[in-house]
Amino acid sequence: MLAGMIAQNYPESGETNFVLIKTDSAGKEQWNRTFGGTGDEAAPAARECSDGGYILAGYNESRGVNAWLVKTDSEGNEEWNRTFGGVHTDYFQDVQETSDGGYVLAGGTSSSSTGASDAWLIKIDTEGNEKWSRIFGGTGDEAAYSVQETGEGGYILACGTSLLGTDNRSFWLIKTDQDGEEEWNRSFSNTGYDQIVSAKETMEGGYILVGNTRSDSSYLSEKTWLIKTNSDGDEEWNKTVSKANYFHSSSAQETDDGGYIISGYSDFIDEDEYTSWLIKTDPNGDEEWNIVFEKAGDDFINSVQETENGGYILAGHIRPPGGDYKALLIKLEGVNNPLNEIKELKNYTCNLENVDNNTKMVLNKRLEKIINHLEEGKEKKAIRELKQFINYINKMRLCSRISADQADTLIKETQKIIKLMEG
């Protein structure tokens, strides 16, 4: 169960805007917010911040193409927005909150480039004011697609690079110090056209890179490409994955067991329709299992995250036959663990909308007591307290301390935990 999440949706016709959607743990929309003006805006990246708000990064076209950043509060109301760039095309592809409370952004710039475009790394403070900006590139076409603060305080950039006037592209991994100064860079080439999607630091200090590779200009030959490096960016292994003519990856992350989860979309069923997929690998990149989501029309999974109980939450967009694009959210259940389930239930109560703090505090104290019973191995007491918790929820509903929908969700999830514990 999730306390909630954000999703983004991008219409492909007419004017587009940043869109932020908040859902509850069951995927039911709680609110949505739109940001933008008369031009086109798109936000490839959005993150929840430590203050409970959200930050969205992308570009706007109100006065040319400029990199654009929007910060909101926990209700999605804009707190500030900032525009970065020059007279040419500039955009953000990723944003991350940093350990000092500010933000780091990655993207591409033509305004400050030495070639067609350069990879761009920019650091800002908590109010969106620039602290420093770094450009990486040569005479070709470069851009940064993801950024992450590393364990020792520097940054790892996943970039793409190509020779000017050619279709050949390569994965380009750049490591910087905390001031954005380059420490090293590594290039990886496979079949000619290799497009990186992201690079993430792994638990043992190396990096996992994911993207796509094809041998010619035809997208029908595209395959997913996974590369593992050590902490110095030197390759340890690489794996190519393809289960259809077109097999495009969009996201990857390390899982708690040391393996990797990869999401993407392909033409599995019909060459004229796209179908989403999910692949789980072991620590060596060898497949353990895969899932194909067979939905009518086109569906695209853009990101995947592991949940606390070992499940997965997937976000993307879908277009039914003859319809318009809509946001798509998929939750996959993991291994059911009563303790984790109760902790997630407690997280849900902390984020109940329009519920006074005293009611939340009482609900949380009851759940904390149940958690303590389980940690002490007192399962029978925990089950008894869970049944009493259901009675208390019903009382809160009768006196309008919580809504009927909130009560139904709490009772349903509590009953699932009791059933799990009773076998």
- At 195, is the pLDDT very low, low, confident or very high (cuts 50, 70, 90)? very high
The answer, yes or no, to whether residue 63 has pLDDT greater than 80, is no
Q: Which residues pair with 338 in a beta bridge?
A: none
CA distance 201 to 233: 11
- Cβ atoms of 271 and 252 within 8 Å: the answer is no
Structure token pair of residue 304: 């995947």
Q: In whole angstroms, what is the distance from residue 302 CA to residue 325 CA?
A: 14
CA–CA distance, 116 with 142 (Å, rounded to integer): 8
Partners of 323 in the beta sheet?
none
d(CA 292, CA 247): 12
pLDDT of residue 127: 96
The token duo for 397 is: 């509903």
Which residue's entry shows tokens 């793409």?
A: 160
Domain ranges of the chain: 5-332, 338-422
Which residue's entry shows tokens 């936000």? Answer: 43
The stretch 52-77 carries a mean pLDDT of 90
* Integer Cα distance of 363 and 421 in angstroms: 20
Q: Is 53 exposed, middle or buried (0-12, 13-18, 19+ CB in 10 A)?
A: middle
Region of poorest pLDDT, from 114-123, 161-170, 271-280: 161-170
pLDDT tops 80 at residue 1: no
C-alpha–C-alpha distance, residues 281 and 396, integer Å = 45
Q: Closest by alpha carbon to 156, among 131, 178, 180, 176?
A: 176
Nearest-CA neighbor of 195 among 167, 175, 154?
167
| 3-state secondary structure at position 156 | strand
Residue 11 has pLDDT above 70, yes or no: no
Measured at the CA of 142, the angle between CA 139 and CA 148, to 5 degrees, comes to 140
Model pLDDT, residue 396 = 92
For the stretch 265-285, pLDDT in tens is: 887 666 667 888 999 999 999
By CB neighbour count within 10 A (0-12 exposed, 13-18 middle, 19+ buried), where does 144 fall? buried
Question: Are 275 and 268 a contacting pair, CB within 8 Å?
Answer: yes
* Sheet containing 5-7, strands listed edge to edge, beginning at the edge strand earlier in sequence: 5-7, 18-23, 29-35
Which CATH code for domain 5-332? Answer: 2.120.10.30
Task: Write down the mean pLDDT value for the chain.
Answer: 87
Within a 13 Å sphere around the CA of 56, how many CA atoms are in the beta-carbon half?
28
How many CB atoms sit inside 10 A of residue 324's CB?
Answer: 11
pTM: 0.76
Higher pLDDT, 399 or 377: 399
Please give the residue that has the higher pLDDT: either 273 or 9: 273
Which of 46-55, 62-71, 388-397 bottoms out in mean pLDDT, i.e. has the lowest? 62-71
DSSP H/E element including 5: strand 5-7
pLDDT of 295 reads: 74
pLDDT for 217: 65
Under the banding of pLDDT at 50, 70 and 90, the label for residue 165 is low
Question: Would strands 193-201 and 207-214 be described as parallel, antiparallel, or unpaired?
Answer: antiparallel
The answer on pLDDT for 323 being more than 60 is: yes
* Cα Dmax for the chain: 71
| Lowest-confidence pick of 90-94, 207-211, 295-299, 407-411 | 295-299
Q: What is the DSSP letter of 117?
A: B
**Percent of the chain residues past pLDDT 70, beyond the cut:** 90
Q: What is the pLDDT of residue 288?
A: 87
- Give the whole-angstrom CA distance, residue 196 versus residue 250: 9
pLDDT tens digit sequence for 280-317: 999 999 998 888 887 767 888 889 998 877 788 989 88
Which amino acid appears at position 375 of this protein?
Answer: E
pLDDT value of position 7 = 38
Q: Over pLDDT 90: what percentage of the chain?
A: 54
Identify which of 339, 326, 279, 278 has the alpha carbon closest to the alpha carbon of residue 298.
Answer: 326
Return d(Cα 400, Cα 389) in angstroms, integer: 16
Residue 360 is inside which H or E element, if any? helix 357-375
